[in-house]
Structure 1
Amino acid sequence: MAKPLFKVNTSQEVITMLKDHLNLKEITQNNIEEVDVKIALHRFLAEEIVVPANLPGFNRSTMDGYAIRAEDSFGATDSLPFYLKIIGEIKMGVRPEFKINPGEAVKISTGGMLPGGANAVMMVEYTEQIDDTTIEARRSISPWENVVREDEDLKTGEIILRKGHRLRPQGIGVLAGIGKTNIKIYRKPKIAIISTGNEIIPAEGEPRIGQIRDINSYTLGACIEEADGVPVYRGIIKDEVILLEQEIKKTIKEDKVEAVIISGGSSVGVRDVTLEVLNRLGRPGVLIHGVSVKPGKPTIVAVADNRPIFGLPGHPVSAMIIFDLFVRPLISWLQGGEYNYNSTKEIEAELTCNMVSNSGREDYVRVFVYKEGEKFYAEPILGKSGLISTMVRASGLIKIGLNIEGVEKGSKVRVRLF
């Protein structure tokens, strides 16, 4: 009897189903470590950061000049200057022990603390020193001009970073600014990679006719690292149910991995083997068998006792695209974060030729981007999904949506750069 065709799901349906069948809180709550903030870049916070004290904590000059009462300058112009008595100079890093009165000023440098009574800084460029104790100023300034107020940057009790936030350099800086040098973050999730196929040999081996080296383990391992996960390389397994099941159980037990990728697990020769294994590893089993994505249609997604398992196509291009769609977001979720599509890696370009697509699926087209004059152009790189060289030559991918039957030459497209 002929086997029924698998039902394909859209990429958004896959994301929704995967999230609905995972208890992410259970996974992340026992996956926390405390580290020095200096090594926390791009990690996800496992705690809420509350500001313990105002920052900068004092009224701070942003210019070299004179700390004054702004009211003393009101109405001043080049033709109608005003005069102030210099009563001292602010030393850097020292709290002034005096205050100024109307008609007085103190010399101050950028970063200095304003003394009591002062509420503005007159830039030195707008003054002229008449003698050792007197300056002339020719400009009116408003209260708190050229000053950072004591709570202008951060206020006591303010939540500055939330749990699940992915730390950027500016986040590291704000943590240092409030004295938070040790923080709780989520551990990077460990993702096992198992290559399947009787024709696959280790990369260091010499292939005979009909054999190929293991490209996907290395490619997917690099993708995992780029996504802030930890790859666990489990080697190559033959296309046999018992061997595959044993290897998955072994990596779960020994390596304590949070997810498993089976490379080649959705190909025709091993698909039934993969489905059988994934359906008996734990509940609920296989969720997805087929996605409306080209390349990558025969993808398998399963969850076994709260552990996601992916059967990715054996072709390198397909494997990389499916990884980007489903595994990369998962790695963020496993660290308590939300996956944000990185729009900073996108550019707009003009398509150099017509591209045909079938309605009802998402097409991901490899393109080479070049610039002529002020315009970027996207030139499709044609080739089968088994050709890793096409990804090497490509600058990025364009997506042709589900209900679009093609894109005409000259159309503006968004290119997601690698």
Structure 2
Amino acid sequence: MKEFLKVIHYEEAVEKLITYRPFSEIESVNIADCCNRIAAQDVCSSENLPAFHRSTVDGYAVIAEDIYGCSETSPGFLQIIGEITMGQSAAIKLQKGQCCWIPTGGMLPEGANAVIMVENTDKLDDRTILAFHPVSLYENVMQSGEDIKIGQRAIKKGTVIRPADIGLLASLGIASMEVVKPYKVGIISTGDEIVEIEQKPKAGEIRDVNSHALYAAVKSCGALPFVYPLVRDQFDDLKQAVEGAIKENHILLISGGSSVGIMDATLEVLMSFPEAQMLFHGIAIKPGKPTLAVKIGEKLVIGLPGHPVSALTNFYILIRPLLIDGPIVNSLEGYLKLNIASQAGRDDFIPAVIEERDGQKMIRPLLGKAGLMSILSQSQGYIHIPYEQQGLKAGEKVKVIIY
């Protein structure tokens, strides 16, 4: 059942995968167990963070206007009327010419609108300080709601939860949240030339890179990866492996056997299932043109190129958006260091590293021979060149999608 590729655009491929992905269930989980899970909905704050104005330094809470213009040679005199205790509400109310001691994190008392650092003062006696430095309005103060305001979105739907996100949720008093039940993702590497990584390859053989790289990539998206034994390029062997894997997983990734070739059986095997529905076979991208996707019942099977660089790049650009419920990506902009040639009519994805020069972000594309795994390992992300564009010129501002 060999046929030539009928390529579609990259955006269409992503849309099809998201449209036909298996239904994702939702569960409520304690935030301590949310790391690497996917937020099922936006989480908005029901309170200001911080809840009160608080000092960011040890010093004295003051009325800023009282010490405008003061200096080493002309200090301001302020009356000490008390001190703020950590963890307690500030019962003090400042009047003109007054101040009170406040520790880092302490609640700013009523009437105060700034804090002068203790290093910029001198205690004349138990009731008076000299202020040697002016402060601006709310200097050394974190204002109520400066971190997060009531109603502001704290966590976006589709976010892969990190330890810092858990800290933010805890600070907002959120003990549990709705997360997507992890997709089970099966991984099958195929090819007569593939051997286990513990083996020393013979002439013409290569180690199984994809099972391990894809396992790590799937896990990084909060899903549950399952690696199956290597499968040879034989119809019956692959059919048996696929039958078992689609029963046990929501999504199945098969690397190898997706291009049009004599020994490639993936497409033939997938389309032999009675309920199989071809979504696409071929995408106008580089790398990864022969990628295919088939829906079998409620399960989604994606055939990735056997080449490790192509397989992993295609994971980032196609499967990660699928697993994290949308194209949530981290990116940054910088200036391109080198020209990049590109062919119009396809989307190109170029590995890149980010460098600093004179305080500016510089993006250096890694333009070695296609398919070098070491280049992908060195890279921090990729540059996306859309299909309607013919290359990029050095000095242009470009965006790098971070892995």
Shifted more, 62-71 versus 367-376: the winner is 367-376
1:230 aligns with 2:224: yes
Cα deviation digits, residues 69-115 of structure 1 (max 9, x gap): 556x2876558866443222223333344444454332223322233
Q: Is the 8 A contact 1:58 1:150 kept in 2?
A: yes
Deviation at 1:15, TM superposition (A): 1.1
Superposed counterparts of 1:4-403, under 5 Å? 5-22=4-21, 27-30=23-26, 32=27, 34-37=29-32, 40-69=34-63, 73=66, 77=70, 83-124=77-118, 127-137=121-131, 144-156=138-150, 158-205=152-199, 207=201, 211-253=205-247, 255=248, 257-267=249-259, 268-271=261-264, 273-281=265-273, 283=275, 285-333=277-325, 338-344=326-332, 348-351=336-339, 355=341, 358-364=343-349, 378=365, 380-382=367-369, 385=371, 388=373, 391=376, 401-403=386-388
The one-letter amino acid of 2:10's match is S
Gaps of at least 5 residues in structure 2 are: none
Mapped to 2, the partners of 1:104 and 1:212 lie a distance apart of 77
Deviation at 1:150, TM superposition (A): 4.0
Mapped to 2, the partners of 1:226 and 1:61 lie a distance apart of 38
Cα deviation digits, residues 227-251 of structure 1 (max 9, x gap): 4433211112233444333322312
TM-score, normalized by length of structure 1? 0.76
Q: Is the 8 A contact 1:359 1:404 kept in 2?
A: yes
Deviation at 1:288, TM superposition (A): 0.6
Decide whether aligned partners of structure 1 residues 35 and 248 sit closer, same or farther in structure 2, where only a CA change above 3 A counts: farther
Shifted more, 290-299 versus 205-214: the winner is 205-214
The one-letter amino acid of 1:189's match is Y
Decide whether aligned partners of structure 1 residues 394 and 160 sit closer, same or farther in structure 2, where only a CA change above 3 A counts: closer
TM-score, normalized by length of structure 2? 0.79
Decide whether aligned partners of structure 1 residues 346 and 167 sit closer, same or farther in structure 2, where only a CA change above 3 A counts: farther
Deviation at 1:377, TM superposition (A): 5.4
Deviation at 1:259, TM superposition (A): 0.9
Mapped to 2, the partners of 1:346 and 1:104 lie a distance apart of 49
Cα deviation digits, residues 359-384 of structure 1 (max 9, x gap): 4234455679999999775563225x
Mapped to 2, the partners of 1:199 and 1:127 lie a distance apart of 75
Decide whether aligned partners of structure 1 residues 282 and 28 sit closer, same or farther in structure 2, where only a CA change above 3 A counts: farther
Mapped to 2, the partners of 1:56 and 1:300 lie a distance apart of 49
Gaps of at least 5 residues in structure 1 are: none
Mapped to 2, the partners of 1:106 and 1:407 lie a distance apart of 59
The one-letter amino acid of 1:105's match is C
Shifted more, 153-162 versus 281-290: the winner is 153-162
Q: Is the 8 A contact 1:365 1:399 kept in 2?
A: yes
Mapped to 2, the partners of 1:62 and 1:274 lie a distance apart of 61
Q: Is the 8 A contact 1:42 1:167 kept in 2?
A: yes
Decide whether aligned partners of structure 1 residues 221 and 167 sit closer, same or farther in structure 2, where only a CA change above 3 A counts: closer
Mapped to 1, the partners of 2:280 and 2:135 lie a distance apart of 66
Deviation at 1:195, TM superposition (A): 2.1
The one-letter amino acid of 1:289's match is H
Cα deviation digits, residues 162-215 of structure 1 (max 9, x gap): 433333454233222123344443344332111223443433445555554433
Rg (Cα) greater in structure: 1
The one-letter amino acid of 2:24's match is T
Mapped to 1, the partners of 2:126 and 2:354 lie a distance apart of 64
Decide whether aligned partners of structure 1 residues 413 and 7 sit closer, same or farther in structure 2, where only a CA change above 3 A counts: farther
Q: Is the 8 A contact 2:276 2:297 kept in 1?
A: yes
Decide whether aligned partners of structure 1 residues 22 and 221 sit closer, same or farther in structure 2, where only a CA change above 3 A counts: closer
Q: Is the 8 A contact 1:35 1:185 kept in 2?
A: no
Deviation at 1:291, TM superposition (A): 1.6
Decide whether aligned partners of structure 1 residues 278 and 148 sit closer, same or farther in structure 2, where only a CA change above 3 A counts: same
Mapped to 2, the partners of 1:106 and 1:66 lie a distance apart of 5
CA RMSD after TM alignment: 4.1
Decide whether aligned partners of structure 1 residues 413 and 306 sit closer, same or farther in structure 2, where only a CA change above 3 A counts: farther
Deviation at 1:66, TM superposition (A): 2.8
Q: Is the 8 A contact 2:159 2:328 kept in 1?
A: no
Decide whether aligned partners of structure 1 residues 174 and 202 sit closer, same or farther in structure 2, where only a CA change above 3 A counts: closer
Mapped to 2, the partners of 1:320 and 1:259 lie a distance apart of 16
What is the aligned-residue identity percentage?
35
Decide whether aligned partners of structure 1 residues 218 and 113 sit closer, same or farther in structure 2, where only a CA change above 3 A counts: closer
Q: Is the 8 A contact 1:35 1:184 kept in 2?
A: no
Mapped to 2, the partners of 1:294 and 1:275 lie a distance apart of 20
Decide whether aligned partners of structure 1 residues 262 and 378 sit closer, same or farther in structure 2, where only a CA change above 3 A counts: closer
Mapped to 1, the partners of 2:105 and 2:49 lie a distance apart of 13
Aligned length: 398
Counterpart secondary structure, 2:211: helix
Counterpart secondary structure, 2:230: strand
